Copies of this chain bind each other. A is one copy, B any other.
Amino acid sequence: MSEPTSDIAIARRASKRPITEIAARLAIPAEAVIPYGRDKAKIDVGFLRGLADRPSGRLILVTAINPTPAGEGKTTTTVGLGDGLNAIGKRAAICLREPSLGPCFGQKGGAAGGGHAQVVPMEDINLHFTGDFHAITTAHNLLAAMIDNHLHWGNALGLDPRRIVWRRVVDMNDRALRDIVQSLGGPANGLPRESGFDITVASEIMAIVCLAADLEDLEARLGRIVVGYRPDKSRVYARDLKADGAMAVLLKDAMLPNLVQTLENNPAFVHGGPFANIAHGCNSVVATRAALRLADYVVTEAGFGADLGAEKFFDIKCRQAGLTPDATVIVATVRALKMNGGVAKADLGREDVAAVARGAVNLQRHIGNCQSFGVPVIVAINHFGTDTDAEIAAVRAAAEEAGVEAVLCRHWAQGSAGILELAEKVAALADGGTARFKPIYADETSLLGKIETVVKDIYHGVAVTAEPAVLRELESFERDGYGHLPVCMAKTQYSFSTDPGRLGAPSDHVVHVRQVRLAAGAGYVVAICGDILTMPGLPRHPAAEAIRLNEEGLVEGLF
């Protein structure tokens, strides 16, 4: 029998252990494990409460250079590093985001790692999993239904039907729902108005579930959601509609972290999955906190490249949750650096050391950025078969030039055996006590000042511009007591600038803030810079066309 090479074939060969056994590795007792099938579980809320006073393990962030079509392997490296730490005898847990169901049927395929560094059961994780996203979809749409119902029955709160900002969501790539006119068909169907749907991962409720400390905080945050405005511009909140309690009920199980395992039977919490542009792009605070109390090392990832993902991890998640990361791993690949150096995707197979060196400015900038948060950095070179020794040496040299070490990792092909060196060095870095974590701006900085700080210090742009209306809105947020919130930057993931075509490390760009939105429940102000799509579409030939059950009842085509 030949060695399987596709992710799904490797995942199917996994020898999974019962999930209670995985939990026991973190000393989670069986009675705190709520099973969802035999290989998925949620952790009981009572047990989680009891963890609060335990000492915290080391927190390790895995982030990456700007994503390219070549692929970087951030999730794969997060899983591989977790396995590697366990392989060198450390008690380590992994914290990942849950993949969105919608994109699975588009072109993305699954998102549970790859090769020999995956979390399983990968089909379940990529499909309904434990139902968290469905619960979020339902809670979101309950609020929407209650808003339109309120308008229908006389609008006692005096909402301006033209200024309702709460849309609906569906966990599906469905461009047809981006812009709709609803409540047509006569008086029995309510008040006609324009609206639309976003994908579930773009829901503010997804961000709320991921940032809430517990059920009480969840309900309070849900109540703070801004649903719309009155004609005098005063805000109407979800709590004004008495929707917060019922939403919290719908979300009570979704708040419990999900436990699964890696191919090497190490524990992985896969919980929450907010967008990394319109939202903060990290797994849940509840899962990260629990993992830190249960393991000595916790490896987690943040969405997209470090300019978006790491910045929000530090400035939003760590700030809100009081987390203090101990080390940062930046994932880079030779292929992606070559693209940053100007090579087209079709030409990535040819050795091009000069292009690697040119593209490495992207890596170097991310290194400096992450260091500016006071957290020590190491680079993981995620190995591809086509990489040459000279190209790898060029990455190492670029990292050293920036003052950090780069370690070659072969976890995709070899599992933990291919990432032992990185594991040793990351553990040493995290244990070294050199981290002095500090968000890049203070709570007291003005909202515009926060945006300017990110643009100048992280994106290395020259200036921020915004329409007067945007500036007035920021002022109104501050006047109404939201000035202390962090900002959540929504911009393209492909570039430090707002132009997805500008790879490398541009330094002369102006960042234009098109729109700002108060996410009072999530607890941040979104600054939208450029075109951000909150509802993807399907390609001409969606992956769904090839997805089916085979004769053995196994899922085909998900990868």
Query: Which A residues have a C-beta under 8 Å from some C-beta of B?
Result: 34-38, 45, 101, 105, 127-128, 131, 134-135, 137-138, 141-142, 144-146, 148-149, 152-154, 168, 170-185, 188-190, 194, 196, 215, 219, 241-246, 248-250, 252-253, 537-538, 540, 542, 544-549, 553, 555-558
Contact = CB atoms under 8 A, between A and B. Distances in A.
Contacts of A145: 105, 172-174, 176, 538
Number of copies: 2
Contacts of A35: 35-38
Contact of A172 (B142, B188, B547): B142
Contacts of A131: 128, 131, 134
Q: Which 3 A-B pairs have the closest CB atoms?
A: A245-B548, A179-B185, A134-B134
B542 A149 contact: yes
Contacts of A196: 185
B547 A245 contact: yes
A249 B555 contact: yes
Contact of A242 (B127, B141, B153, B544): B544
B183 A181 contact: no
Between A172, A177, A184, A537, the greatest number of chain B beta carbons within 10 A of the residue's beta carbon is seen for A177
A559 to B, nearest CB: 13
A180 B556 CA distance: 35
Contacts of A548: 219, 244-246, 248-249
Given A148-B174, A153-B540, A246-B545, 8 more contacts: A34-B38, A128-B138, A138-B172, A145-B176, A175-B190, A176-B189, A181-B184, A244-B548
Nearest to A181: B181
Contacts of A181: 180-181, 184
Contacts of A253: 128
Given A131-B134, A252-B553, A544 B142 contact: yes
A56 to B, nearest CB: 25
Contacts of A153: 540
Residue with the highest number of chain B CB atoms closer than 10 Å, among A180, A250, A540: A180
A183 B189 contact: no
A253 B45 CA distance: 26
A176 B37 CA distance: 37
Nearest to A550: B245
Contact of A252 (B245, B546, B549): B549
Nearest to A535: B189
Contact of A184 (B180, B189, B242): B180
Contacts of A101: 138
Which of A148, A153, A544, A546 gathers most chain B CB within 10 Å?
A544
Most chain B CB atoms below 10 A, which of A131, A141, A190, A549: A549
A148 B176 CA distance: 7
Contacts of A249: 127, 547-549, 555, 558
18 contacts: A36-B36, A105-B142, A128-B138, A138-B172, A141-B172, A142-B172, A145-B538, A146-B538, A152-B537, A153-B540, A154-B540, A175-B188, A215-B549, A242-B545, A246-B544, A246-B545, A249-B547, A252-B553
A148 B128 contact: no
A184 B195 CA distance: 10
Contact of A557 (B215, B245, B545): B245
Given A249-B548, A549-B245, A185 B174 contact: no
Contact of A248 (B138, B141, B244, B549): B549
A182 B189 contact: no
The CB with the most chain B CB atoms within 10 A, among A253, A537, A546, is that of A537
A231 to B, nearest CB: 21
A48 to B, nearest CB: 12
Contacts of A555: 249, 252
Contact of A183 (B37, B105, B176, B242): B176
Contacts of A137: 134
A175 B183 contact: yes
A537 B149 contact: yes
Contact of A246 (B36, B105, B128, B148): B105
A345 to B, nearest CB: 23
A545 B153 CA distance: 14
B177 A182 contact: yes
A189 B175 contact: yes
